Amino acid sequence: MKPRLFAALLGAAIACTPFAAHAHRAWMVPSATVLSGEDVWISIDAAASNTLFFADHNPLRLDNLVVHAPDGAQATPQNLLRGRYRCTFDIELAQSGTYRIVNATRGANARYMLNGEEQRWRGQLSELQAALPSGATDVRVSENFNRVETFVTRGAPTEIQPVNEGLELAPITHPNDLVTEEAARFRFLLDGQPAANLEVTLAPGGQRYRNDTGEFTVTTDAQGIATVNWPSAGMWWINASVRDLPSDTAGATRSANYSGVLEVLP
């Protein structure tokens, strides 16, 4: 949709308000991240939950699941099952190197007033025009880009190329080379540019068995680099988000969210 057309549709009543971030945490947890041998598979649990990493809310919608193999081709997820609380699927690691498992979604939220009541809409931005009933006023639109991913490596790690879209983690320390005794450095990119001064949340799994969350935040420097000192080994959830970005679509805002799962070994 062309920005001008969209602006004309929404008229002067448009207001730009960001929508609440997803309340639950999205994750894909692999059965292992550092593997050796030849006939090697991993299994992944994918869900959105509050308690990391316990499937207690909803399965992750995997409509946009892509498994990037080390050679750049796409591998096929197998044995996909959608359960009440989580999805599971397997990946055969046929190649040596690093697999990047991604569920990246683009969408839009809209709120508008119709006959004195607030209505909500969710879908693709291109569908909004058709979806809005005549008489809708106070239309507020937010585009969102959401990336959920994890990494696994068979044999020696291979380089991870940035996708330059949305908010992403561009590793300096390889995500499958994390140990408690060494600090890790990750660059965050927003549409391919360093995301400076970005607050990054780190939360350890196994939360049910602790009274404190164990979470902490770090802030990226001017080059978009976050330095993380791991307090403990285990599966970690790494998350960052940006909101109220200008959008290509006139009158709308844009948000981007990143959620990764990283394994830190002792």
Partner 1 sequence: MKLAQLTAALLTLAATPAAAQNLRVDVEIPRLSTAEYHSPYVAIWLERPDQTAVANLAVWYDIAARNNEGQTWLSDMRTWWRKIGRETTLPADGVSGATRAPGATHINLRANQGPLRGVTPGAYNIVVEAARELGGREVVRVPIQWGPQAQTANASGSSELGAISVSINP
Residues found near partner 1 in the complex (CB under 8 A): 34-40, 155-157, 177, 179, 265-266
- CB nearer to partner 1: pick between 97 and 107: 97
Q: How far is the CB of 39 from partner 1 (least distance, A)?
A: 6
Instruction: Please check whether residue 56 is in contact with residue 49, taking contact to mean a CB–CB distance below 8 angstroms.
Output: yes
Answer left, alpha or beta for residue 79, where phi above 0 means left and psi between -120 and 50 means alpha.
Answer: left
Q: How far is the CB of 80 from partner 1 (least distance, A)?
A: 24
Of 251, 229, 252, 224, residue with least CA distance to 240 = 224
- CB nearer to partner 1: pick between 135 and 266: 266
Distance CA 69, CA 72 (A): 5
- CB nearer to partner 1: pick between 63 and 181: 181
Contacts 24+ apart (CB under 8 A), 13-16: 13/137, 13/138, 13/139, 14/138, 14/139, 14/140, 14/141, 14/251, 15/138, 15/139, 15/140, 16/140, 16/141, 16/142, 16/244, 16/251, 16/252, 16/253
Q: How far is the CB of 30 from partner 1 (least distance, A)?
A: 14
- CB nearer to partner 1: pick between 41 and 121: 41
- CB nearer to partner 1: pick between 16 and 179: 179
Instruction: Please check whether residue 8 is in contact with residue 251, taking contact to mean a CB–CB distance below 8 angstroms.
Output: no
- CB nearer to partner 1: pick between 29 and 35: 35
